[in-house]
Amino acid sequence: MSFFKINNYFPQEIIFGPASISKIGAEYLDLGSKNVLIITDQGLLATGIVDRVTRFLKRADVYSKLSGEPTSDAVEDALRFSKQKDYDLVIGIGGGSAMDTAKVVATLNKQSLTVTDAFGRDLVGARKVGLGLIPTTAGTGSEATPNSIFIDSRDGVKQAVISRELIPDWVVLDPDLTVTLPPAITASTGMDALCHCIESLLSVNSSDISAAYSYHGVKLLCANIRRVVCRGDDVEARGKMLLGSFFGGLALTLAGTTAVHALSYPLGKRGVPHGIANGMLLPKVLEYNLPYCKEKLDSLAPYIKCDKPLKGAADVVECVAMYLEQFPTPKSLDEVGIGEDTIPELAKEALLQKRLLNNNPIRLSLEEILKIYKAILRY
């Protein structure tokens, strides 16, 4: 029997269901009297989704200068903006970039720390500003985690701010907000969520409690991901994807992600979207890890929906690879403009991600990381 210690990281309130965004007024969350800062990105602002939130707010400003994966400088700009007024509440609306930014802005708003000062674990003080999160993709699970991930503007390396203070006060999971996501983004964010669930299960820090989130997240995601890629307006399937992503966030909070994320970070530094990087890496990393976590991969077989019955670990890896093959997303490094000459540099940078590599069921050497990158060089 193994020993484990669990910290209770969980948002105080979760509102889930179609049209639940319409219930954030006085019906569930009394936001009308608050001075609110909404953080979102440029693309989402044009969709009208943010307007569906501000209609319930008397005093709301919108910060929408984010684009792509956030850098520490971009988050610092948002933090400076937030300090121009006395805000009661910060709401992050969007994918992981907007939510991660909102989490740090709310936490540091009344503090003197810079974003780079906060890189690390438990380096921030108590958050004194309210925090709400509204995801518009089913992928990052940021609404459920104490983590915010940014590219350090000083060297291009991804860094994390990790603290209980980043857990939101409330979360709204409204599948209606995800139905207009294009198939490619639906697929890549869905694969990111699947990575969170599977990696957390295989992590050396996995426990019976984190595994419960992992298993149910995998079940929800695998039963619905192909449905939503093919038919984006399936609200029921979209809702299950949101829940699967949320469970992935809870699982990684307790157990952490592994080598997939460690190897994806150098790709993100070179402009590869996070979900795409994780998706192309997941099958190959699973294939490499299989001998060291066969029992856990065996246990996933009943939870994964595939075109044939799954007998065990090898079939699980094959099915995950099949998802990637079927989706309209890049499957190799050359498809995202990364050539073989860059691989040694990628491997050296991945090896620095000790926080993630230490969670992997087998420790990876530089040579082994090189082999994994070379395996996804061409499709």
Cα 160 to Cα 275: distance, rounded to the nearest angstrom = 17
Collect all residues with Cβ–Cβ distance below 8 Å to 171 and sequence separation of at least 6: 11, 13, 14, 15, 132, 133, 134, 135, 143, 144, 246
4 or 328, which is more confident?
A: 328
So what's the pLDDT on residue 34?
Answer: 79
For Cα atoms 169, 175, 181, give the angle at the middle one, nearest 5 degrees. Answer: 115
What percent of the chain stands above pLDDT 90? 85
pLDDT value for 24: 79
Q: What is the mean pLDDT of residues 101-105?
A: 98
Question: 3-state class of 19 per DSSP?
Answer: coil
CATH superfamily assigned to domain 181-375: Dehydroquinate synthase-like - alpha domain (1.20.1090.10)
Identify the CA nearest to 167 among candidates 142, 185, 204: 142
352 pLDDT more than 80: yes
User: What pLDDT, on a 0 to 100 scale, did the predictor assign at position 364?
Assistant: 95
* pTM of the complete model: 0.95
* Secondary structure class of 47 (helix, strand, coil): coil
Q: Is 247's pLDDT higher than 90?
A: yes
pLDDT at res. 26: 61
Query: For residue range 275-319, what is the model confidence (pLDDT) as tens digits?
Result: 999 999 999 999 999 999 999 999 999 999 888 888 899 999 999
Domains of the chain, residue spans: 13-177, 181-375
**pLDDT tier for residue 379 given thresholds of 50, 70 and 90:** confident
Average pLDDT over every residue of 88-99:
95
pLDDT in tens, 187-240: 999 999 999 999 999 999 999 999 999 999 999 999 999 999 999 999 999 999
What are the distances in angstroms from CA 254 to CA 1, 97, 250, 329? 18, 21, 7, 29
Average pLDDT, the chain: 94
What's the confidence (pLDDT) of residue 32?
66
CB 104 within 8 A of CB 75: yes
CATH number of 13-177: 3.40.50.1970
Angstrom CA distances, 55 to 24, 36, 175, stand at 10, 12, 19
Q: Judge contact between 316 and 300, C-beta under 8 A.
A: yes
**Could you tell me the pLDDT band of residue 22, with boundaries at 50, 70 and 90?**
confident
pLDDT at 28: 67
Which pLDDT does position 58 carry in this prediction? 80
pLDDT attached to residue 3: 72
The confidence score (pLDDT) of residue 59 equals 85
Residue 365 has pLDDT above 90, yes or no: yes
What 3-state DSSP class applies to 91? strand
Q: Is the pLDDT of residue 1 over 90?
A: no
pLDDT of res. 27: 63
Task: Indicate the range of 28-37, 86-95, 113-122, 342-351 predicted with least confidence.
Answer: 28-37
Q: Is the pLDDT of residue 100 over 80?
A: yes
158, β-bridge pairs = 151
Q: Render pLDDT for 23-77 as a digit per residue (tens, 0 to 9).
A: 876 666 767 667 999 999 988 988 999 998 888 888 889 999 998 889 999 999 9
Q: Give me the percent of the chain exceeding a pLDDT of 70.
A: 98
